[in-house]
């Protein structure tokens, strides 16, 4: 009998794809312990929250959730509540949970994922009431175990593969390097073995993940680069589409542009966070490029990969951002014509360099700037999507939606990462590639009919 047999677990998650990948590993470990995944909190014996600290809002949502869980625990005192992810890597948050959230039984950090079975066992066997383990780096065992425990996925069609952990860039606003540590590239052999394993299980699309995939390999012996890694990934049989994120503009090499443009398998979508269009702000952000360099890179990409879609992240209201700086951002967004953009209001993060910057922008102004930026970008997104109406595109069908009168509607994505809702279809086409005629365009998605 396994230690968590007969127990149901429920997970809740915030944050980026790194967390989504960690979630898969956590669920693998819980499955191995004998627990079963539940889709409702109400019948769960174990609830794990996988948290994000990139903005204050994300953290507040977790604290609110913990409040709700306290009530659930009153009704069910045996409920085990666990918190992990980026938030608990911060001493201030750890302290707050320790003293103000007694309902939390288990805390484990981003370097302690592999320790989940040991830590949870202590609680289940009642050796300890509360277990909190947050390390600042991996032990050798953790590194080794992470390479093997995470192989299985619940769904293989589209699989995420982390190529590097952490980040060395220390952009002045960002908490990620503090909670995820310095950049560590995984050895290429391990990556290729993992991708082969996934392909054997039916994976058609791989998403290579890193905070900055373009600096992959810099910490490895030899001459490994991201472009060279891609050359190896292309050769894995069965994989039809290769995606990657995030690309830091300062490390985007010509050889990378070349492999993307020459390979059918590498998707023509580049997520290239610009953050700001003002040189003054870019410098204060420590982004490592100027507006002109960014624009030149965009031009190079557009010339070499004409079909590429470009997406970005933008922060408004960084300390010291004047109306002129903001206009520079709008101007850049107009000029580049991104396919879509994630737009954020600057959020002060404790411990980062920008925390100490003065000239904080007023909340009201930040909100107004966000509105203006979103309005502009939405117009551009819609216009770009409308250009696709009437075109026939290859769509990978990756989601099955509701069934009506024996017919099912499906969702899929273009090579350029646009979401397409497919008109109802009677055959099961999940996991296949289909030629789809685009019949309608919205700001965030397209509608299409299988040809």
Nearest to 4 by CA among 98, 106, 75, 89: 106
Please state the closest distance from residue 225 (CB atom) to ligand SF4, in A: 18
Options 49-57, 346-354, 425-433, 440-448: segment touching ligand F3S (CB under 6 A): 49-57
Work out what residue 347 binds among ligand SF4, ligand F3S, ligand SAH, none; the CB cut-off runs from 5 to 8 Å by kind: ligand SAH
Residues 236-275 close enough to bind ligand SAH by CB under 6 A? 246, 248, 273, 275
Residues 85-104 close enough to bind ligand F3S by CB under 6 A? 86
Is residue 214 at the binding interface for ligand SF4, with CB under 6 A as the rule? no
Q: How far apart are CA 168 and CA 340, in angstroms?
A: 27
Nearer to ligand F3S, 326 or 346 (CB): 346
Residues 41-100 close enough to bind ligand SAH by CB under 6 A? 54-55
Is residue 211 at the binding interface for ligand SF4, with CB under 6 A as the rule? yes
Angle between helix axes 116-124 and 17-32 (nearest 10 degrees) is 50
Nearer to ligand SAH, 82 or 273 (CB): 273
Please state the closest distance from residue 293 (CB atom) to ligand F3S, in A: 25
Nearer to ligand SF4, 275 or 377 (CB): 275
Nearer to ligand F3S, 80 or 86 (CB): 86
Nearer to ligand SF4, 293 or 440 (CB): 293
Q: How far apart are CA 57 and CA 59, in angstroms?
A: 5
Please state the closest distance from residue 269 (CB atom) to ligand F3S, in A: 19
Please state the closest distance from residue 423 (CB atom) to ligand SAH, in A: 34
Q: Mapping DSSP to helix (H, G, I), strand (E, B) and coil, where does residue 401 land?
A: strand
Residues 148-187 close enough to bind ligand F3S by CB under 6 A? 175-176, 179-180
Is residue 47 at the binding interface for ligand SF4, with CB under 6 A as the rule? no
**Residue 396 to residues 106, 204, 433: CA-CA distances in angstroms?**
40, 9, 4
Options 18-26, 346-354, 359-367, 407-415: segment touching ligand SAH (CB under 6 A): 346-354
248, two tokens: 């830091």
Options 71-79, 80-88, 104-112, 166-174: segment touching ligand SF4 (CB under 6 A): 166-174
Nearest to 27 by CA among 155, 135, 213, 198: 155
50, two tokens: 């996988």
What's the half-sphere exposure (Cβ side, CA atoms, 13 Å) at 152?
Answer: 9
Burial of 107 (0-12, 13-18, 19+ CB in 10 A): buried
Q: Mapping DSSP to helix (H, G, I), strand (E, B) and coil, where does residue 115 land?
A: helix
Please state the closest distance from residue 89 (CB atom) to ligand SAH, in A: 15
Contacts of 322 (CB under 8 A, 6+ apart): none
Please pick, from the candidates 16, 70, 192, 295, the single residue that binds ligand F3S as defined by CB under 6 A: 16
Q: How far apart are CA 318 and CA 177, in angstroms?
A: 19
Other beta carbons less than 10 A from residue 370's beta carbon? 18
- DSSP per-residue string spanning 329-362: HHHHHHHHT-SEEEEEE----TTSGGGG---PPP
Please pick, from the candidates 168, 261, 347, 378, the single residue that binds ligand SAH as defined by CB under 6 A: 347
Residue 246: is the preceding peptide bond cis (ω within 30°)? yes
List residues near ligand SF4 by CB under 6 A: 167, 169-171, 174, 176-177, 211-212, 248
List residues near ligand F3S by CB under 6 A: 15-16, 18-19, 52-54, 86, 175-176, 179-180
List residues near ligand SAH by CB under 6 A: 54-55, 173-174, 176, 211-212, 246, 248, 273, 275, 313, 315, 344, 346-347, 349
């Amino acid at each position: 009998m396994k230690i968590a047999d007969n127990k149901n677990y429920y997970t809740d998650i915030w944050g980026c794809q790194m967390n989504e990948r960690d979630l898969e590993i956590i669920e693998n470990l819980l499955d191995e312990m004998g627990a079963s995944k539940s889709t409702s909190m109400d019948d769960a014996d174990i609830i794990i929250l996988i948290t994000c600290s990139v903005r204050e809002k994300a953290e507040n949502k977790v604290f609110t959730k913990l409040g709700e869980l306290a009530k659930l625990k009153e009704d069910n005192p045996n409920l085990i509540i666990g918190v992990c992810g980026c938030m608990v890597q911060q001493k201030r948050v750890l302290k707050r949970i320790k003293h103000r959230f007694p309902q939390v039984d288990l805390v484990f950090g981003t370097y302690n994922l592999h320790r989940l079975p040991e830590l949870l066992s202590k609680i289940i066997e009642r050796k300890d009431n509360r277990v909190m383990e947050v390390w600042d780096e991996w032990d050798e065992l953790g590194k080794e175990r992470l390479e093997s425990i995470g192989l299985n996925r619940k769904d293989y069609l589209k699989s995420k593969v982390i190529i590097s952990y952490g980040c060395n860039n220390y952009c002045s606003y960002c908490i990620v390097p503090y909670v995820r540590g310095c950049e560590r590239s995984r050895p290429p052999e391990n990556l290729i073995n993992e991708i082969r394993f996934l392909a054997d299980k039916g994976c058609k699309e791989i998403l290579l993940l890193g905070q900055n995939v373009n600096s992959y390999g810099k910490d490895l012996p030899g001459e490994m680069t991201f472009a060279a890694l891609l050359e190896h990934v292309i050769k894995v049989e069965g994989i039809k589409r290769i995606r990657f994120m995030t690309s830091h503009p300062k490390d985007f090499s010509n050889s990378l542009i070349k492999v993307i443009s020459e390979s059918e398998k590498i998707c023509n979508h580049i997520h290239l966070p610009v953050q700001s269009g003002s040189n003054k702000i870019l410098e204060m952000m420590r982004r490592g490029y100027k507006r002109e360099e960014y624009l030149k890179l965009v031009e190079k990409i557009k010339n070499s990969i004409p079909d590429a879609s470009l997406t970005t992240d933008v922060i408004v209201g960084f300390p010291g951002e004047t109306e002129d700086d903001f206009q520079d951002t709008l101007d850049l967004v107009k000029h580049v014509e991104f396919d879509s953009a994630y737009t954020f209001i600057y959020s002060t993060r404790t411990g980062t360099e920008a925390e100490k910057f003065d000239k904080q922008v007023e909340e009201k102004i930040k909100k107004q700037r966000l509105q203006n930026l979103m309005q502009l970008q939405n117009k551009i997104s819609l216009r770009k999507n409308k250009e696709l109406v009437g075109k026939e595109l290859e769509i990978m069908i990756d989601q099955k939606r509701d069934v009506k009168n024996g017919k099912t509607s499906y969702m899929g994505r273009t090579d350029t990462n646009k979401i397409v809702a497919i008109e109802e279809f009677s055959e099961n086409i999940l996991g296949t590639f289909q030629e789809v005629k685009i019949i309608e365009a919205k700001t965030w998605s397209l509608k299409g009919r299988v040809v």
